């Protein structure tokens, strides 16, 4: 855990803790009942908000946002500066532009603020509970919310993991036995009449755990060191 990870304004972290306090009993209820349909509409809304928020609050996501900001600066902002009429008059060269460092300290916080408004964008996905019935346990990482797109990943390499991307899947580990999965029902079918899927093949558990490894930044967490 890092101090002032989001901002130097401590009130921001306090406000985020309010959402965590609101969602903690909802997640406990899911683990106990193993049924998304037993959540109220308000509880479900807060759950979706927490998932979108949790995805953006990690160090891995923060680094990605910083990289996007720098890409925008180098590929759009600086070329625009150099080629502007004002720059030509001032004879600003590429060397001068390269020496200038432009940052946006609030870029990560801005992404988080957008995530807190994003629940409606994933509200059309179908939720199911995945229950681990094997001897292998689920792992989770320091970037636990996984956005994946099994349908389109072999067909294209862009537009796969946005909140409104067709074919989107969201994996959310609740504990080492239970996952919450959201999926686009236009592209995936479930061989079940309920919203609970029991996983009996260890290969399936391993595949989900591999996604956690791939999405992790520095750490993987587990309950059984075997």
pLDDT in tens, 8-32: 666 777 888 888 999 999 999 999 9
Q: What confidence tens digit (pLDDT) does each residue in 44-74 have?
A: 999 999 999 999 999 999 999 999 999 999 8
Which tokens sit at 133? 């019935």
Name, in order, each residue with C-beta under 8 angstroms of 83's C-beta and a sequence gap of 6 or more.
Answer: none
Q: What confidence tens digit (pLDDT) does each residue in 125-174 have?
A: 999 999 999 999 999 999 999 999 999 988 887 889 999 999 999 999 99
- Please report which residue ranges of the chain form alpha helices under DSSP H: 10-33, 41-56, 59-72, 78-83, 85-90, 94-99, 107-115, 119-122, 202-215
Quick one: pLDDT at residue 209?
A: 95
Identify which has the larger pLDDT, 135 or 86. Answer: 135
Query: Where does the pLDDT of residue 43 fall: very low under 50, low under 70, confident under 90, or very high at 90 and above?
Result: very high
Could you tell me how many residues make up the chain?
A: 226
- Helices 10-33 and 41-56 pack at an angle, to 10 degrees, of 120
Q: What confidence tens digit (pLDDT) does each residue in 210-226 have?
A: 999 999 999 999 887 76
Structural contact between residues 144 and 150, judged by C-beta atoms closer than 8 angstroms: no
For residue 146, give Cα distances in angstroms to 61, 119, 142, 171, 226: 12, 16, 11, 5, 23
Quick one: pLDDT at residue 184?
A: 95
């Amino acid at each position: 855990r890092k101090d002032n990870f989001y901002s130097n304004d401590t009130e921001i972290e306090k406000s985020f803790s309010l959402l965590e306090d609101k969602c903690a009993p909802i997640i406990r209820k899911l683990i106990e009942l193993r049924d998304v349909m037993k959540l109220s509409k308000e509880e479900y809304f807060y759950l979706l908000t927490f998932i979108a928020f949790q995805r953006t609050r990690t160090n891995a996501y923060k680094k990605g946002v910083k990289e996007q900001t720098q890409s925008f600066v180098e590929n759009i902002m600086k070329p625009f500066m150099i080629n502007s009429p004002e720059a030509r008059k001032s004879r600003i060269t590429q060397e001068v532009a390269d020496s200038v460092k432009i940052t946006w300290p609030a870029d990560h916080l801005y992404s988080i603020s957008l995530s807190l408004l994003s629940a409606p964008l994933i509200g059309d996905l179908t939720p199911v509970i995945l229950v681990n019935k094997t001897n292998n346990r689920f792992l989770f990482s320091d970037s636990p919310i996984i956005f994946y797109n099994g349908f389109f990943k072999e067909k294209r390499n862009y537009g796969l993991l946005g909140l409104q991307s067709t074919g989107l899947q969201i994996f959310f580990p609740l504990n080492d036995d239970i996952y919450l999965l959201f999926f686009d029902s236009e592209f995936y079918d479930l061989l079940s009449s309920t919203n609970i899927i029991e996983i009996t093949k260890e290969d399936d558990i391993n595949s989900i755990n591999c996604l956690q490894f791939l999405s992790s930044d520095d750490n993987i967490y587990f309950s059984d060191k075997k």
